[in-house]
């Protein structure tokens, strides 16, 4: 079946650092989404991307829909402590028939000790 | 503010008990989903429903069943709880067909089976 490979699995951030993570697949998708899950809460939608090459920002977050339609990237600039949590990518092929989102396994952001 | 509400944040149940996890959404969404989340395994789809009284198996339905008698409510049932069902359970909903606009998730129920 279709799979999303999300990396890195985990990373430590120091306040002020920029953070990058990505999601890749061998399949083509026409929708990419990025979610954040705070500890003890459900995931919340951050950014949705609908066109290959699209670059979308939400505050300090910027996400890109890869030109091959097989990948997506999320960058966080000038990280702050409340950025910690788990970030999930999700993708969908929406072509008139029903399709469920496919999720990556997540990237866990923690603060450097 | 639109919401998906899960009835319990934390539950502790005994092995063999029948367990009901309730989920209610106030957005008039057609689609509802149940996931379980375990460290290193991400979100795994248990069951989903596109309409009232309709249900479909996800990737890991064994040991679970669901009920959707009303559009706004989707219940997950553990017929006979086992320790390997200790997990975080997340309910989600979405409008229309597919996840084009993403899912709205509840806050989760952390279930411990002892």
For B25-55, the pLDDT digits (tens) are 999 999 999 999 999 899 999 999 999 989 9
Answer whether residue A93 shows pLDDT above 80.
no
Which pLDDT score, from 0 to 100, does residue A75 have?
98
Interface of B with A (CB under 8 A): 4, 33, 40-43, 45, 48, 50, 90, 92, 97-108
pLDDT band at B1 (very low <50, low <70, confident <90, very high): low
Q: Which of A10-24, A57-71, B68-82, B97-111 has the lowest mean pLDDT?
A: B97-111
Whether A92 contacts chain B with CB within 8 A = yes
Which pLDDT score, from 0 to 100, does residue B57 have?
94
Whether A66 contacts chain B with CB within 8 A = no
* DSSP-derived secondary structure letter, A59: T
Answer whether residue A78 shows pLDDT above 80.
yes
Residue of B nearest to A46 (CA): B102
Whether A42 contacts chain B with CB within 8 A = yes
Answer whether residue A98 shows pLDDT above 80.
no
Answer whether residue B70 shows pLDDT above 90.
yes
Chain A interface, best mutation among B99, B105, B106, by max A CB count within 10 A: B99
Of A9, A41, A92, the CB nearest to B99: A92
Tell me whether residues B108 and A104 touch, CB distance under 8 A: no
Residue of B nearest to A101 (CA): B99
Alpha carbons B45 and B39: distance in angstroms, whole number: 15
Task: Residue A99: list chain B partners with CB under 8 A.
Answer: 97-99
Task: Residue A40: list chain B partners with CB under 8 A.
Answer: 107-108
Report the share of chain A in percent with pLDDT over 70: 94
Alpha carbons A45 and A34: distance in angstroms, whole number: 6
Higher pLDDT, A96 or B54: B54
Tell me whether residues A45 and B104 touch, CB distance under 8 A: yes
Task: Residue B33: list chain A partners with CB under 8 A.
Answer: 100
Answer whether residue B98 shows pLDDT above 80.
no
- Tell me the average pLDDT across B1-30: 94
Q: What's the number of CA atoms in the CB half-sphere (13 Å) around residue A67?
A: 0
**Which residues face B75 on adjacent strands?**
B67
Task: Residue A33: list chain B partners with CB under 8 A.
Answer: 99, 102
SS3 for chain B, per residue?
A: CCCEEECCCEEEECCCCCEEECEEECCCCCEEEEEEEECCCEEEEEEEECCCCCCEECCCCCCEEEEEEECCEEEEEECCCCHHHCEEEEEEEECCCCCCCCCEECCCEEEEEC
């Amino acid at each position: 079946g279709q799979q999303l490979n999300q990396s890195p699995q985990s990373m430590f951030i120091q306040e002020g650092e920029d953070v990058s993570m990505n999601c890749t697949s061998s399949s083509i998708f026409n929708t990419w989404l990025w979610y954040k899950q705070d500890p003890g809460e459900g995931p919340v939608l951050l950014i949705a991307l609908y066109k290959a090459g699209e670059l979308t920002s939400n505050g300090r977050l910027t996400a890109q829909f890869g030109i091959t339609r097989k990948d997506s990237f999320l960058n966080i600039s000038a990280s702050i402590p409340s950025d910690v949590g788990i970030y999930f990518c999700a993708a969908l092929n929406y072509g008139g028939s029903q399709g469920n989102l496919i999720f990556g396994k997540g990237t866990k952001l923690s603060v450097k000790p | 503010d639109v919401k998906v509400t899960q009835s319990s944040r934390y539950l502790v149940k005994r092995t063999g008990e029948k367990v009901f996890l309730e989920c209610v959404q106030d957005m008039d969404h057609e689609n509802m989903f149940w996931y379980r989340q375990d460290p290193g395994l991400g979100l795994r789809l248990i069951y989903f429903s596109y309409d009232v009284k309709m249900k479909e198996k996800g990737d890991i339905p064994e040991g679970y069943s669901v009920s959707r008698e009303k559009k706004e409510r989707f219940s997950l049932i553990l017929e006979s709880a086992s320790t390997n069902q200790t997990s975080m359970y997340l309910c989600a909903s979405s409008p229309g067909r597919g996840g084009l606009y993403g899912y709205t998730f509840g806050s989760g129920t952390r279930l411990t089976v002892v």
